[in-house]
Structures are given as C-alpha cells and as structure tokens.
C-alpha cells in the first residue's frame, strides 16, 4: 500500500532552477543540474513522507551561505503550507555543506511549484461515489443520508478549525484515498499559512475517529469540495484581495473580486461595479473588452455602464418553485405555490422526526440548519448540515431530510428544469 501511494502520487511537479546554485564537487553545469535535480527529488520525498498528503503549492527561498556553511535566509514565501516551507528550509541547511559559499554578496534563490498529479482527474466526484467512509451512527440511513453524514464529519473538523482561526477561511478540493486526504488543491487561499496543514490534520483525525474503520480501506478514490472557516466580511475580503494581488497568477484575485461583489451587487450595483473596475485596474485588466470568470464571460463596458448609472441591464432570473402534488393549481399565485411547497416540507419533518431518548434524557435541544438541493429530476441531494446542536440531534436531522420525498416538478427557468438550493431550520425542542 505504501508503494502504491508513492506510485499514485509521483507528481508532475516543476522546479525552476536555483539561480547560481553551485555544488562544491561540480565543475560543469550538467553536474550542477543533476545534483540539483537529485536534491529536489529528495526534498519532495521528505515532504511527502512527513505530511502524508500533497498540497498544490508554490514556494520561494533566497539565501546566502558563508564560508563555514551557515545559511542565512533573506526572503521566503509559500502560498499554502507552512510545514512545506519549514521542511524546505531544513533541506537547504542540510545541503549547505555541499554548496559553494556565496561570494561578492551573491544570493542564491530557489523557486518550487508543486502540482497535483494528472491522475487525480480520474478520482470520482463524491456525489457519484458508491463506496466511501461510513459514519457508524448512520449505517441504517439511505445513501443520501450516509453521504450527508460524511459531510458532517468534515464540518465537525471545520468548526474546530474555525475556533482556532476565527478570522480566516479557505476553500479546497480534497482528494481522498482509503478515507484519508492525500491531495489538496486550494481554490481559495487562507491568509494564515498554518491553516491548510491544520485543516487537513483535523479532517483526517475526525474521519478516523468517526468513520467505520472497515469502510476506510474499501473506499473509492474521490474528490470533494469543502469550504472552511467563517464567512468573510468586507474588511477581510480587502485583506485577501491585497494579498492575492501579489501572486504571480491573478486567477484567484479575479475570481474573488467578482465573487465578493456579487454578494452585494443586487442591493448596491453601482458601488460594486465600481469596486470590480477598481480591483481590475490594480492589475491592468480594466481596459479589456471582456473577462472570463469561472467559465462565464463578462463585458467590461457593461460593468462600467452599471458603475456610472447604477442601472442593471440583466435582471435577476425569475425561477419558479419546485412543486409537490396538490400544490399546483391554476388559481394559485406563485406565492401560494411556494407556501404549499414549504408546508409539505415542514409537515414531513414534523411527522417523521424522532427525538432521540438519550437527547431527551440529557435535556439537549436547539435549532439546526440543513442545506439541501432539489435536483433537475426532482430528487433531494447535496444534504449538508451547516449549524449543529449535538450529534444525537444532528444525525436525526440528516436522516429526516434525506427522506424528504422527491418533488413532482422541479424548479423551472425559461421552461427548463434547474437545480435549486434550500436551507431548512429544524427546531428540536423538548416538549
């Protein structure tokens, strides 16, 4: 298994050569290149063995070496993993005896980019998995409920990390093998460089604690997206954007510029359109005709028009609500149809929620919030408990939501079925 893991994660990583790095026993550039390649491979293996997972990351170090081999670092940078940075510095110190001293004030530099392997594209999306780590308290649940319980485990880790880093957040694609995170692709970078390593450690620990051990080894290789930390406010977003602007790739900077402004666009379109243009101007992209954001094309002239007039030409799409049998009536207004849909959901929950005896004995109660999606085919999916009270009540809430009947007609937009997400509050109150 250890060999398999190493084989699986033989990365297509790219290292840019350290400028001027010279080995004491080399008299040719070919020799230096070979020594450097060997060093980089050894460093990679060390980091992989120490962490047990791979983070898509970028690292930079500049340093000097004196005549007795003492290393002095002048600049250091890493995008995600502080442990990666620490181990890389240790390797440079260990290598110093084999390097020629810096002369005439020369500074060596080393840039390192780690990419996830191509075979992660073969990992199954979590929603499509059949075999995944099962939480023992959920063994009798349907498949949707079992998957929601696994997400609950990830959320437990998230709540733990949020207490440790109350003003930070991140988003990751996590790649699991045998129920353990072996690959991390940050799609929203945290500001604290210790965040990613702490998050992965917490997730692996919680999965090991809460999942049935026999299902870990039988689990498929899968990828799941998780957002961790507290929702960022405007002041925090500005700090993030300022940091992201310093990175060589501006992709995350652009995505987060649009993502944050979208939260307030409907209420303050003029202000938010101006903010988008201002942020794009910082990287010289406000003069383009169009810009691509997560697969969607935006006209810069249209954004500029909104910033000047406050008039939004593209109105918010008008979706119809999903419909249960008995709710659709030619005399019903959209509001009446919506209320009927909501009543059907609430009736199901109140009729089927079974208050656990142990929770009743311990006097546990509170309000739980569960997200779910009604898919295009009318089925219930993507169940995610976002506010908890206690595992006894949390798991029962997941079970009840997972058994919500499919709707007879999904939400519609321009005559086509669309996915629609909902947040359901469940008030678990002792009577």
Identify which of 176, 146, 223 has the alpha carbon closest to the alpha carbon of residue 53: 176
* pLDDT at 314 (0 to 100): 45
Quick check: 250 pLDDT over 60? yes
Residue 19 has pLDDT above 80, yes or no: no
* pTM of the full structure: 0.84
The span from the CA of 68 to the CA of 310, in Å, is 66
Winning range, highest mean pLDDT, from 47-56, 243-252, 333-342, 422-431: 47-56
Which of the given ranges, 45-49, 172-176, 343-347, has the highest pLDDT on average? 172-176
Is it the case that residue 2 has pLDDT exceeding 50? no
β strands within 273-328, DSSP E: 290-293, 296-299
Query: Mind spelling out the 3-state secondary structure of 222-283?
Result: EEEEEEEECCCCHHHHHHHHHHHCCCCCCHHHHHHHHHHHHHHCCCCHHHHHHHHHHHHHHC
pLDDT band at residue 272 under the 50/70/90 scheme: confident
Extended beta strands in 28-179, E state? 54-55, 57-65, 71-78, 108-114, 124-125, 169-177
Residue 17 has pLDDT above 50, yes or no: no
The tens digit of pLDDT for each residue in 71-115 reads 999 999 999 999 999 999 999 999 998 988 877 767 888 888 888
Nearest CA-CA partner of 379 in 415, 405, 400? 405
Which residues make Cβ contacts (< 8 Å) with residue 416, sequence separation at least 6?
none
Phi and psi at residue 86, in whole multiples of 5°? -60, -45
Q: What is the pLDDT of residue 310?
A: 58
Asked if residue 426 lies in contact with residue 368, where contact means CB atoms within 8 angstroms, the answer is yes
Instruction: Return mean pLDDT, the chain.
Output: 86
Do residues 410 and 417 make contact, with C-beta atoms less than 8 angstroms apart?
Answer: yes
Domains and CATH numbers, the chain: 2-120 (no CATH), 125-155+165-228 (no CATH), 234-309 (no CATH), 334-428 (3.30.1150.10)
Kindly report the CA angle at 333 between 331 and 334, in degrees rounded to 5? 140
The pLDDT, as a whole number, for residue 255 is 87
Distance of CA 314 to the CA centre of its chain: 30
Q: Which range (180-184, 207-211, 216-220, 414-418) has the least confidence? A: 414-418
- Compute the C-alpha angle 356/382/154, nearest 5°: 70
């Amino acid at each position: 298994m250890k060999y398999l893991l190493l084989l699986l994660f033989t990365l297509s990583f790219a290292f840019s050569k350290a400028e001027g790095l010279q080995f004491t026993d080399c008299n040719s550039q070919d020799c230096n290149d070979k020594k450097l390649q060997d060093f980089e491979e050894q460093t990679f293996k060390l980091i992989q063995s120490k962490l047990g997972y791979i983070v898509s990351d970028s690292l930079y170090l500049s340093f000097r070496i004196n005549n007795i081999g003492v290393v002095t670092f002048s600049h250091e940078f890493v995008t995600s993993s502080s442990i990666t940075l620490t181990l890389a510095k240790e390797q440079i110190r260990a290598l110093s005896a084999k390097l020629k001293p810096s002369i005439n004030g020369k500074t060596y530099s080393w840039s390192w980019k780690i990419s996830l392997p191509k075979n992660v594209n073969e990992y199954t999306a979590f929603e499509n998995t059949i075999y995944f780590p099962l939480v023992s308290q959920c063994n009798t649940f349907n498949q949707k409920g079992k998957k929601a319980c696994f997400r609950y485990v990830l959320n437990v880790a998230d709540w733990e990390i949020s207490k440790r880093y109350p003003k930070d957040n991140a988003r990751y694609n996590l790649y699991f093998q045998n129920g353990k995170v072996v690959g991390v692709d940050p799609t929203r970078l945290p500001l604290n460089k210790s965040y990613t390593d702490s998050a992965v450690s917490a997730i692996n620990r919680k999965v090991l604690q809460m999942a049935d051990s026999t299902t870990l080894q039988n689990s498929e290789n899968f990828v799941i997206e998780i957002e961790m930390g507290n929702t960022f406010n405007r002041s925090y977003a500005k700090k993030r954007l300022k940091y992201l602007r310093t990175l060589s790739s501006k992709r995350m900077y652009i995505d987060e510029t649009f993502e944050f402004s979208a939260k307030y666009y409907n209420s303050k379109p003029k202000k938010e359109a101006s903010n988008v243009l201002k942020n794009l101007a910082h990287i010289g992209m406000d003069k383009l005709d169009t810009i691509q954001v997560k697969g969607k094309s935006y006209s810069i002239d249209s954004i500029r028009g909104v910033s000047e007039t406050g008039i939004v030409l593209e109105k918010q799409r008008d979706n119809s609500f999903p419909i249960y049998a008995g709710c659709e009536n030619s005399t019903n207004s959209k509001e009446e149809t919506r209320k009927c849909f909501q009543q059907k959901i609430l009736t199901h929950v109140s009729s089927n929620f079974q208050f656990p005896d142990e929770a009743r004995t311990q006097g546990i109660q509170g309000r739980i919030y569960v997200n779910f999606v009604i898919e295009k085919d009318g089925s219930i999916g993507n169940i995610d408990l976002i506010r908890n009270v206690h595992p006894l009540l949390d798991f029962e809430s997941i079970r009840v939501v997972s058994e919500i009947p499919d709707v007879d007609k999904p939400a519609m937009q321009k005559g086509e079925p669309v996915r629609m997400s909902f947040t359901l509050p469940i008030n678990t109150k002792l009577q």
